[in-house]
Chains A and B, each alone.
Chain A
């Protein structure tokens, strides 16, 4: 029984980090592909590599330090951050799926980036504008992945698993992205964002409670209970907001 519950929580953790990294990688890749197609691949790839390097240093520097923090304090702080972070993701996903907010359109973002880059003059030698834009795109999107890896990985004492899950997502999305290039809009990003939001909120609730010495019924299994509860709540809220949106449109 113990082995089953431990592996199920590890699976949920790996899934959460993988999906969070995949969603952010799709957003970063849209920018990198736009930079590469418009200004050339050398600077785009150099900027991306530099950003990935800085993000790796951040994980390597902060990860071992966070592991030394007393577990209850770490889980309380990290759980609180995850709870807020997860609820913010769920809010965006529900507003998008119910039509109150436009879906994240990678095609539109791609076109906007291309227009922005074409407006910049050509520069001789290394293209600094392309380098900086690719760096910023990968770094800013990657920062959320770093936070997910560090918070989930250190609180569960599974930093290695979290790092590997994120790396697999980065490599997989990078490889698929290189193949499909501009068809990144086909990725079901909002569905992935919803799943990540549910997982982050579940971990946040679970660990904040553990940090405050709450003994959850069923121990680690309660994590799956939270996933089910929040999945139902998200479905109910999205359905209700969709109906409200339709009524709003009829009235207008």
Chain B
């Protein structure tokens, strides 16, 4: 009984974060996660660190544009 409740609570917690971060905009989530991985890799090398700072805002703008175009096409 207690285990069932615990499972339910964990599932609800996971659902909340899934809806919050992914929801109906999975493209934003994917672009941001991929950009973070690229920036983390770039910032390891000293000569690529400057490039790392450019990738993040460019990816954010790209994610927004992709998401908006996707939303406009679906209407």
Contacts and interface: CB of A to CB of B under 8 A. Distances in A.
Interface of A: 76, 80-81, 83-85, 87-88, 90-91, 94-95, 100-101, 147, 201, 204-205, 208-209, 212-217, 226, 229-230, 233-234, 237, 241, 244-245
Interface residues of B, number: 27
Given A205-B57, A212-B43, A91 B28 contact: yes
Contacts of A76: 36
Contacts of A245: 72
B26 to A, nearest CB: 11
Contact of A214 (B20, B32, B49, B72): B49
A218 to B, nearest CB: 11
B60 A95 contact: no
A212 B39 contact: yes
Counting from the closest, the 4 A-B pairs by CB-CB distance are: A214-B53, A87-B28, A91-B67, A212-B43
B71 A87 contact: no
B47 interface: no
Specify the main secondary structure of chain A where it touches its partner: helix
Contacts, number: 83
A87 B63 contact: yes
Contacts of B43: 212-214
A212 B72 contact: no
A226 B61 CA distance: 11
